Amino acid sequence: MRRIYRFDEKFKKTRNKIAVTLTSLGLTFGGFISFYSLSLPSLAVAQAPNWSLSAPVGIEFTCGGGTYSHTLDTVSQDVDGNMTGNGHYNANGSYTWDFTGAINGDSITFTLVYTGSNSGYTLNAVGSVMPDGSVNGTTDGNCQTFTMAAGSATAIVRVGMCPDGTMQSTDPIDTFSVYSASVSSTPSSVSLDSGKKYLIVASGTWTNVGKNVSDAEYASTDGWSTHMDGYDINPYFLGEGEFDLRINDGFVDWGSYSSEHTYSYVFDGADSTVSLGVFDGNSNTNSVESGWYGDNSGSLEIKIYSCDKVEVEFDKDHCKKYGWRELEDDHGKPFRNQGQCVSAKHRHHHGDKDDHDNRHHEEHHENNSRRR
């Protein structure tokens, strides 16, 4: 099972490091008592999460040679991998706890804080998510390890993220609805600049003839117990594009099935608006049947984000060891050599009044590099 997020995701690239320290606390867990003063390693949440934790899900803790079963009853996870939830100790429901944590790539950290019996008891855990969705790791206090069974986490598949070197804008530049009963496509209210990329995010579902349900890419005849790409059921063989959300009257690949019915697509601006509309007809021949739209109901929500260039601050050390090959000048052009890179950084520090001297310095480095 895969869960799909498409909001990059390059997502807020840095996070403050989290360090949790326990100092001289009397802790109990499943009947054991221990006194510790220790600090867990810091974990920087810098990667987008590869997994989404499920709930309810069991957590088995090994403490002092015994195994203690707990259940994470609820969990909420945002696109950055930050999690909150709650759970309980299976053998005694009065031992309830709050759950906070984060998934960073394939790594997971979480903290349990008891809220019922033995209120205030805190347990910290650090671990990894395995390819089968199982989770295991180590804990502090009087416990040593924890495990979660296969399928406890579902893989996140990202389709249509902003390209490398760009970051999705915090807020959408446009939001509008596409109505399934409308034969005509709905245009954006803003023009998308040529030479720039945008992330179009489509979410929601709509209904056809009161029973077939569809999202931007997939359809279902049983309320999403199963799904299909398009509609090919006897006697209606309408192809993979039936019920799809089209962009500028063209079919696009919205990616793998999303149980959240949220999809995204990277779109190149062309100094014009972009139009989106639901297709109802025979996609095998690209024939729209305007008379079929009358039994459609519902709409899809569209959000358009800009993929903004990430400005990277650098110093002259970044120019060394061929690092200049990965950098650009103030005009977005790649450096020709290390000397040009160093000179550009020098101008940042001293201003353009030294530009003549800097150009001479740059030419000197370039000539030397040609002699080598």
Distance (Å, rounded) from C-alpha 191 to C-alpha 236? Answer: 38
Q: Looking at residue 337, what is its pLDDT?
A: 84
Q: Looking at residue 158, what is its pLDDT?
A: 53
**Residue 217 or residue 353, greater confidence:** 217
CA 103 to chain CA mean position, Å: 11
CATH of domain 166-309: 2.60.120
Q: Looking at residue 43, what is its pLDDT?
A: 34
- 328-to-7, 88, 310, 311, 350 alpha-carbon distances in Å: 26, 53, 12, 10, 19
Q: Looking at residue 326, what is its pLDDT?
A: 65
Angle at 146 between CA 84 and CA 96, to 5 degrees: 45
In percent, the amount of the chain with pLDDT more than 70 equals 73
Can you tell me the mean pLDDT for 171-197? Answer: 97
Domain limits, the chain: 2-157, 166-309, 316-371
Residue 72 clears pLDDT 80, i.e. is over it: yes
**Residue 258 or residue 348, greater confidence:** 258
pLDDT band at 91 (very low <50, low <70, confident <90, very high): very high
pLDDT band at 154 (very low <50, low <70, confident <90, very high): confident
Q: Looking at residue 219, what is its pLDDT?
A: 97
Q: Looking at residue 2, what is its pLDDT?
A: 36
Computed over every residue of the chain, the mean pLDDT equals 80
Taking the CA atoms of residue 49, residue 51, residue 57 and residue 63 in that order, the dihedral angle to the nearest 10 degrees is -60
Can you tell me the mean pLDDT for 280-294? Answer: 96
**Residue 31 or residue 101, greater confidence:** 101
- 29-to-48, 74, 276 alpha-carbon distances in Å: 32, 21, 55
Q: What is the pTM of this model?
A: 0.48
